[in-house]
């Protein structure tokens, strides 16, 4: 599809990346964006490294074809399992002037100011937890502060969000169970990273089960402020990103279902187009 705009691409396995896009639209009004949700193949969290990498690369290539000079992987699972490979092995051959960025670093860089006692809990998909990306990156970027991380995989949370089961007793059960497990593994946790872009959609429920003294770190605002900083530091990239205020939504599943759910998540009516990734 030929495009006159050069939008910033935002990719997620499904609806979760909308929690990031929402902040981009707030902080970068007027910029053009394309949001791509691979809803047909979500969730990614329980898929192997190879499959997440293959699917994510297909999405990045599609967004490049549509003119995006910059793609944000608004998905922790894709950031954990595919980002480094794409940056190091694929990008130089595809187009060394384009960029792909992820969502894990912004959360990791912020946690050292966030935690008071260094006990940090990570909630994420099975894929993100097994990749150990958060503990590894936290060790690298904690600025010398000793951080003790405890991870809990929440395999049911993304399917529940994808199926719009947010306000149901079933979701209540799984959210309370995973939070209980996390806090039992380290009762001293004072900060929890929501290490999956779908999880902010469950915050009202999460808050029911997390004691008040524990802080929740959401990625949306952090990732968005890092993108603003990135564009200021890279005027050559900022110049490429067109600014006609167009936002395009793409899904690999049924467009009407996407429109209905995305409208709930974003609080505004949107129109969506179906595409095939291969
Ligand atoms: N939003 C994705 C993430 O941040 C969800 C992954 C999935 O599809 O399981 O990890």
Residue 181 confidence (pLDDT):
98
Which of 68, 154, 196, 272 is flagged as catalytic?
196
Residues of the chain with CATH 3.40.50.1860: 8-103+221-274, 110-218
What class is the 110-218 domain?
Answer: alpha beta
- Reply yes or no on whether 272 is catalytic: no
Q: Which atom of ligand 1 is nearest the CA belonging to 46?
A: 9
**pLDDT attached to residue 1:** 47
The catalytically annotated residue of 75, 154, 241, 272 is 75
Global pTM reads: 0.95
Question: Which residues line ligand 1 at a C-beta cut-off of 6 Å?
Answer: 12-14, 16, 42-45, 75-77, 125, 128, 158, 196-198
Q: How confident is the model at residue 3, as a pLDDT?
A: 57
Q: Which two tokens stand for residue 173?
A: 């059960």
Mean pLDDT for each consecutive 10-residue tract of the chain (278 residues)? 80 96 97 98 95 98 98 97 97 97 93 92 96 93 86 96 91 98 98 96 95 95 96 98 97 96 88 97
154 classed as catalytic = no
Handedness of CA 163, 197, 123, 50 (dihedral sign): positive
Q: How far is the CA of 237 from the centre of ligand 1 (A)?
A: 27
Distance 77 CA to ligand 1 centre (A): 5
Look at the domain 8-103+221-274 and name its fold: Rossmann fold (3.40.50)
The two three-digit tokens of residue 96, written as one number: 């060394």
> Contact at 8 Å (CB) between 161 and 150?
no
CA 197 to ligand 1 center in whole angstroms: 6
Nearest CA to ligand 1 atom 2: 75
Report the pLDDT value the prediction gives residue 84, as an integer from 0 to 100. Answer: 96
Question: Nearest to residue 41, comparing CAs of 7, 11, 86, 10?
Answer: 11
């Amino acid at each position: 599809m030929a495009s006159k705009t050069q939008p910033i691409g935002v990719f997620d396995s499904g609806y979760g990346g909308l929690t990031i896009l929402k902040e981009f639209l707030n902080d970068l009004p007027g910029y053009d964006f394309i949001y791509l949700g691979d809803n047909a193949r979500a969730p990614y969290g329980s898929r192997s490294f190879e499959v997440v990498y293959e699917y994510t690369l297909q999405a990045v290539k599609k967004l490049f074809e549509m003119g995006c000079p910059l793609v944000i992987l608004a998905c922790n699972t894709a950031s954990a399992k595919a980002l480094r490979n794409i940056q190091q092995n694929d990008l130089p051959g595809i187009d060394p002037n384009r960029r792909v960025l992820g969502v894990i670093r912004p959360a990791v860089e912020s946690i050292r100011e966030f935690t008071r006692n260094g006990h940090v809990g990570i909630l994420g998909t099975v894929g993100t937890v097994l990749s150990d990306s958060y503990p590894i990156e936290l060790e690298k970027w904690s600025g010398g502060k000793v951080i003790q991380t405890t991870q809990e995989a929440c395999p049911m949370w993304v399917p529940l969000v994808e199926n719009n089961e947010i306000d149901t007793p079933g979701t209540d059960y799984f959210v309370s169970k995973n939070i209980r497990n996390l806090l039992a593994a380290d009762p001293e946790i004072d900060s929890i990273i929501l290490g999956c872009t779908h999880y902010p959609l469950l915050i009202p429920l999460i808050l029911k089960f997390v004691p008040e003294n524990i802080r929740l770190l959401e990625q949306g605002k952090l990732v968005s402020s890092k993108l603003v900083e990135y564009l200021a530091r890279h005027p050559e990239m900022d110049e490429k990103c067109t600014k006609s205020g167009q936002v395009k939504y793409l899904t690999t599943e049924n467009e009407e279902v996407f429109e209905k759910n995305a409208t709930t998540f974003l609080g505004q009516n949107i129109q969506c187009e179906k595409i095939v990734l291969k």
